[in-house]
Amino acid sequence: MHLATYYNGVSIHRRDRTIFGKFLQPHLVLSTCRAAGGIRRNIDYVLNHQSCEPKNHHRNIDYRDVLDYRRMICENIGLAAEKCVTMGTAANMHHAAIIHRTFLDLEVVAVVTGGVETNGGRAGDPASVLESESGFKSLDETGSDTIKPGTINTMLFISQPLTEGAITRAIMTATEAKSAALQELAVNSRYSDGLATGTGTDQIIVAAPDPDEKIYRLTGAGKHSKLGELIGKSVICAVKETLARQNSLTPSGQCSAKIHLERFGCTSDSMKEGICNHLNHEQTKILMDNFHTINRDPIVVAGVATMAHLRDKFSWHILPPSCWRETMSSSGAHLACSVGGRYEKMVDYRQQLATTISPQPDNQGFLALCWSALARGFIDKWWRQ
């Protein structure tokens, strides 16, 4: 199925489980692809292929033989493998986002698929495998070398010729844009207590016209250039759109106290249990009946998000441990007020919480403070003294 044609240079198609760009003129291609990756010319097609289902489905394919894998998926849709650059993913191609941005005669097209629910990670998170000539060796103590599903794949098409340096810079700008989109969505890392900057299996292809004649090539694709701006805006929009389709991950959906605390070790059950430990039987029943409403209350989410952000400031050593108790008791008091609406009790909450805070920054103590603050605010909302 033909989806669209842009700048008389590339046409976008979807066939079977593959979205591909067909070049209508010679293009310079730079990619992270395992087969034919790096800088390439004489490429006719760039592909994004759904190789499996997102969960518990692995076809009988030797993914280590990258050339054979490329040949198989290209031949299945009638394309010559040696003329293709390919990416693989578990994301559904029907959930792809295609975003087109222009300024005068400059055009940028971002074609993105994505999933981050189980494989979102932060740069610098603990690794799971070590690669050597003999293959990949698990670094997991359990011996598991299973990579969780979840990948953001980007195809970026630019209407004007670029230098090799500029096309490399375009990958940097697109990667920053992807991370910015995840930051705006408050996506959690599944491997640490940080916010995700991508997934462990992200891939990207960037392509721009590559005419034979000596004509001017754009030399910059950074944030100060108009090209960089278009790349940033198109990729941010495309990442958000595809994640909304693939994972139902939207800004409004992320308005949840529990979601903001997940990366510190919180689950729905542990959150309920932690709060209820401070309540009596009657209070516990009412909380359990209304947990969803409290968890999704924007004012409560704002209070939790503030605490999570402050927790990060201590992790990043922007704030010293010496002010942990004072800072977090004040923030916890504000959270209690946001639940109960009793802002006149801010000082009382602060004094009460200060006596229960762990002496040093740690996630267990941080969550315990959150549960105590939420419980105090909940009690005063319904059992006013």
**364 residue type, one letter:** Q
The distance from CA 2 to its chain's CA centroid, rounded to whole angstroms, is 29
Query: Cβ distance 79 to 20 under 8 Å?
Result: yes
Q: Is residue 202's pLDDT more than 50?
A: yes
How many other C-beta atoms can be found within 10 angstroms of the C-beta atom of residue 312?
16
SS3 content of the chain, % helix, strand, coil (to 5): 40, 20, 35
What are the tokens at 324?
């942990």
Measure the CA angle with vertex 106, ends 104 and 108; round to 5°.
Answer: 130
At residue 35, the pLDDT reads 87
* Other C-beta atoms lying within 10 Å of the C-beta of residue 106: 17
- Band the pLDDT of 57: cuts 50, 70, 90: very low
Higher pLDDT among residues 312 and 148, named by residue: 312
**pLDDT exceeds 60 at position 63:** no
Span 124-164, pLDDT tens digits: 999 988 988 888 888 876 555 556 678 999 999 999 999 99
Residue 216 burial (CB count, 10 A): 8
* pLDDT tens by residue, 73-99: 998 899 999 999 999 999 999 999 999
Q: What are phi and psi of 205, to 5 degrees?
A: -130, 130
Average pLDDT over residues 200-214: 93
What pTM, to 2 d.p., does this model score? 0.91
The pLDDT value given to residue 51: 81
167-179 core/surface letters (b: 16 or more CB in 10 A; e: else): bebbbebbbbbbb
The answer, yes or no, to whether residue 378 has pLDDT greater than 50, is: yes
Euclidean distance between CA atoms 356 and 376, whole angstroms: 13
Neighbours of 248 (CB within 10 A): 9
| Mean pLDDT across 265-271 | 96
**Average pLDDT in the chain:** 92
| Average confidence (pLDDT) over 197-210 | 96
In the chain, alpha helices (H): 66-76, 164-184, 226-247, 257-261, 268-276, 281-296, 298-315, 324-340, 346-354, 363-382
Question: pLDDT of 97-117, one tens digit each?
Answer: 999 999 999 999 999 999 998
- At 58, is the pLDDT very low, low, confident or very high (cuts 50, 70, 90)? very low
CATH numbers and ranges of domains, the chain: 2-247 (3.60.70), 257-382 (no CATH)
